[in-house]
Structure 1
Amino acid sequence: MDFGYARVSTTHQDLERQLVALAEHGITEDRIYADKKTGATVDRPKFQEMLGYARPGDTIVATNLDRLGRNLRECLNVIHDLTERGVGVKTLRDPLPIDTTDTSGMAEISVAMLALFAHMERVFMRERAAHAREVAAAQGKQPGRPRKLSAAQLAAARAALREDQPAAQVAEAFGVSRATLYRYLAEAPAAQPSAANTE
């Protein structure tokens, strides 16, 4: 049995194009599942409902592979998990169509190519991140996200906490969450007094 899956990232986007393509493929409306939710998680209501119905020998059909996940690596994980369950995956409009029910070997080649692309994507992302860190270091900038608390602010926050001010109030005063405040305090422990000051 074929199940159709359609997804758009926001409630403002239209599912119609995908629904029409699935219907033209012969999937009846009662076997089409659609989510209006980001692909950043596989914990999507209709997606999970569809997985609950799918049995070995069934196939999940989508217009494009990116409907199943947020990136190539996640889509490959979905394909792997479904294959382990004996459930096929088929796409209708990808430049490199996927059909894991194809026994001719083309399906394995397509998935292998996608795995290669996913690996290349990760390598390029790591290289771009490393280059950005090198450029930032060369310019004397702190790599990563800008810090929310400066050293002076952190010292003032620490002093306020020593005066038994509630952590929630201190965090609010500096415009950060209590969790962020605690994280910064843990990253930069208070300076220990020197031997000269303890004599």
Structure 2
Amino acid sequence: MIYGYARCSTNETKQDINRQKRELINKGVPENNIYFEYESGTKIDREQLNRLLGVVKQGDTIIATELSRITRSTKQLCDLIEQVKDKHLKVVIGSFEVDCSKDKLDAMTLGMLQMMGVFAELERNMISERVKSGMVNAKARGSVIGRPVLTSDNIPNIFMKYYPKYKQGEINISELSRLCDMSRTTIYKYLNILGDK
């Protein structure tokens, strides 16, 4: 089986994950086999990535458009490589293929993968430094820093479209999450704002 993994750091109102989905479908991933979420690439316990790793079996393939979609942490990448080796999977990251489906991972491929991980983490650290510097400068100019307060007035329309069906018991959390193309974490956040836990 072929599976895909797509991730964006911020929620669906700020980043469009559909480009990654289209690329994965073009690479032969069935749309129903794409796992996606809006979480930081450094977060260790990611719901959808964990679900994907729990579903795959020996000989299966996981495809991601780039390494930073899977992780921006070198340590997490090393842990993932161990799982890939233990389960005898094939992982395709962009055009780079790591095949552990039959044999052990060769030293050159492992070294290249770890090098990619180092650069992904370096990129994340540089972005973080630029963001912090920008926030300091904005604050010095008197700008208000931080996310706008989320209220029932600015919940996305797609959620509000399907919310009545959930409220009436026609669909459950998983179906609401799928229809809205949002993570369950985001769904729970909106339900909490609306007083439905």
Deviation string 1:27-52 (CA, Å, 9 cap, x unpaired) is 11110000111112231121111112
1:86: which partner in 2?
88
Of stretches 46-55 and 84-93 in structure 1, the one that deviates more from structure 2 is: 84-93
Deviation string 1:104-149 (CA, Å, 9 cap, x unpaired) is 9996523213335667999xxxxxxxxxxxxxxxxxxxxxxxxxxx
Secondary structure of 1:98's match? strand
Query: Structure 2 regions of 5+ residues with no counterpart?
Result: 122-197
Q: Verify: 1:7 aligned to 2:7, yes or no.
A: yes
Q: Are the aligned partners of 1:101 and 1:107 in contact in 2 as well (CA < 8 Å)?
A: no
Secondary structure of 2:19's match? helix
User: Structure 2: how far apart are the matches of 1:120 and 1:3?
Assistant: 25
Cα RMSD after superposing both structures? 3.0
Query: Structure 1 regions of 5+ residues with no counterpart?
Result: 123-199
1:35-184 correspondence runs (5 A): 35-93=37-95, 97-101=96-100, 108-115=107-114
User: Structure 2: how far apart are the matches of 1:106 and 1:83?
Assistant: 7
Amino acid in structure 2 at the alignment position of 1:112? G
User: Structure 1: how far apart are the matches of 2:99 and 2:69?
Assistant: 16
2:195: which partner in 1?
none
Q: Are the aligned partners of 1:6 and 1:67 in contact in 2 as well (CA < 8 Å)?
A: yes
Q: Are the aligned partners of 1:98 and 1:111 in contact in 2 as well (CA < 8 Å)?
A: no
Amino acid in structure 1 at the alignment position of 2:34? I
User: Structure 1: how far apart are the matches of 2:40 and 2:118?
Assistant: 23
Report the TM-score when normalising by structure 2: 0.52
User: Structure 2: how far apart are the matches of 1:86 and 1:33?
Assistant: 20
Task: Count how many residue pairs are aligned between Structure 1 and Structure 2.
Answer: 119
Q: Are the aligned partners of 2:6 and 2:65 in contact in 1 as well (CA < 8 Å)?
A: yes
Structure 1 stretches of 4+ moved >3 Å: 101-108, 116-122
Which structure is richer in relative contact order (CA contacts within 8 A, separation 6 or more)?
2
User: Structure 2: how far apart are the matches of 1:121 and 1:17?
Assistant: 20
